[in-house]
């Protein structure tokens, strides 16, 4: 029994010695960290790392508000980090889709504006214009139809060329 206890104590000291970090500052002021002791001619100091204790179970059972506060102050779990990553990725994809849709709408608007202006220019030119019906028959537009088409075409220009 005594031997087991002595081995446990020696093992604990060995782990503590391996985990020790030395901070060494040389003459020029350069700081280095090492597991081995600092060389001669440098200022040295040991750096200790302590792990904060886990919150007691009573704090977790105190209620949702207390649990949220404890979660917010502590490190995030892998699941929480993954969830945040996926949320950011979805927001990024939505923004990309929205941007692509806006560009497509702008291109459509530009095309419709150009076509409406060309239609107005054709109507104002005085050249004979023809219309093709559902059967494929071609008929020349008279002056009254041309005036109606001008009104329609100018409204289209106002709508698409804002």
Burial classification of residue 3, based on how many CB atoms lie within 10 Å of its CB (0-12 exposed, 13-18 middle, 19 or more buried): exposed
| pLDDT value at residue 52 | 65
Return d(Cα 11, Cα 126) in angstroms, integer.
103
Return d(Cα 37, Cα 17) in angstroms, integer.
11
| pLDDT value at residue 68 | 57
In the chain, what are the domain boundaries? 97-162
| For residue 144, pLDDT beyond 70 | yes
User: Higher-confidence residue: 127 or 90?
Assistant: 90
What are the φ and ψ backbone dihedral angles of 157, each rounded to 5 degrees? -65, -45
User: Which residue in 3, 47, 8 sits closest to 25, CA to CA?
Assistant: 47
| For residue 61, pLDDT beyond 90 | no
pTM, 2 dp: 0.45
| pLDDT value at residue 26 | 84
Q: Residue 31: which pLDDT band, with cuts at 50, 70 and 90?
A: confident
């Amino acid at each position: 029994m005594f031997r087991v206890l002595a081995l446990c104590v020696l093992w604990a000291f060995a782990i503590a010695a391996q985990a020790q970090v030395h901070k060494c500052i040389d003459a020029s002021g350069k700081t280095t960290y090492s597991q081995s002791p600092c060389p001669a001619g440098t200022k040295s100091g040991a750096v200790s790392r302590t792990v904060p204790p886990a919150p007691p179970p009573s704090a977790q059972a105190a209620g949702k508000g207390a649990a949220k506060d404890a979660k917010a102050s502590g490190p995030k779990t892998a699941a929480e980090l993954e969830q945040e990553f996926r949320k950011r990725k979805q927001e990024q994809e939505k923004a990309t889709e929205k941007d692509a849709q806006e560009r497509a709408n702008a291109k459509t608007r530009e095309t419709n504006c150009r076509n409406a202006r060309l239609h107005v220019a054709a109507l104002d030119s005085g050249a004979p214009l023809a219309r093709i019906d559902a059967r494929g028959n071609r008929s020349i537009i008279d002056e009254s139809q041309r005036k109606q088409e001008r009104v329609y075409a100018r409204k289209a220009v106002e709508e698409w060329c804002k």
